[in-house]
Amino acid sequence: MVLRGMGQLQPQLRALLLEHITFVDTPGVLSGEKQRTQRSYDFTGVTSWFAAKCDLILLLFDPHKLDISDEFKRVISSLRGHDDKIRVVLNKADQIDTQQLMRVYGALMWSLGKVLNTPEVMRVYIGSFNDKPVNEAATGPIGKELFEREQDDLLSDLKDIPKKACDRRINEFVKRSRAAKIHAYIISHLRKEMPAMMGKAKAQQRLIDNLEDEFGKVQREHHLPAGDFPNVEHFREVLSGYTFDKFEKLKPKMIQAVDDMLGYDIPDLLKSFRNPYD
Q: Give the pLDDT band (50/70/90) at residue 275.
A: low
Least confident of 115-119, 128-132, 158-162: 115-119
**Order of strands, sheet of 57-61, starting from the edge strand that comes earlier in the sequence:** 2-4, 57-61, 86-90, 123-126
CA distances from residue 17 to 9, 14, 57 in whole angstroms, order as listed: 16, 9, 17
Which segment of 156-160, 180-184, 252-256 scores lowest on mean pLDDT? 156-160
> Residue 12: what pLDDT?
56
Contact 74, 35 (CB under 8 A): no
Lowest-pLDDT choice from 36-40, 188-192, 265-269: 36-40
Task: List, for residues 5-34, the tens digit of each pLDDT value.
Answer: 444 555 555 677 777 788 888 877 766 555
Q: What share of the chain is helix, strand, coil (3-state, %, to 5)?
A: 60, 5, 35
Distance CA 50, CA 92 (A): 26
d(CA 185, CA 188): 5
Indicate if the alpha-carbon torsion angle 97, 99, 101, 104 is positive or negative: negative
Is residue 91 exposed (0-12), middle (13-18) or buried (19+ Cβ within 10 Å)? buried
- Determine the Cα–Cα distance for residues 228 and 182; give it in Å rounded to an integer: 7
Lowest average pLDDT, out of 37-41, 146-150, 269-273, goes to: 37-41
DSSP states of 79-136: TTT-GGGEEEEE--GGGS-HHHHHHHHHHHHHHHHHHH--SSPPEEEES--SSSPP-H
| Half-sphere CA count of 50, side-chain side, radius 13 A | 20
Q: Kindly report whether the global pTM for this prediction surpasses the value 0.85.
A: no
Cβ within 8 Å of residue 252, ≥6 positions away: none
Residue 25 forms beta bridges with which residues?
2
Question: Is 61 in contact with 107 (CB distance < 8 Å)?
Answer: no
Domains and CATH numbers, the chain: 2-159 (3.40.50.300), 169-271 (1.10.268.20)
CA distance 113 to 107: 10
CB contact at 8 A, 161 and 55: yes
Give yes or no for a contact between 40 and 181, defined as CB atoms under 8 angstroms apart.
no
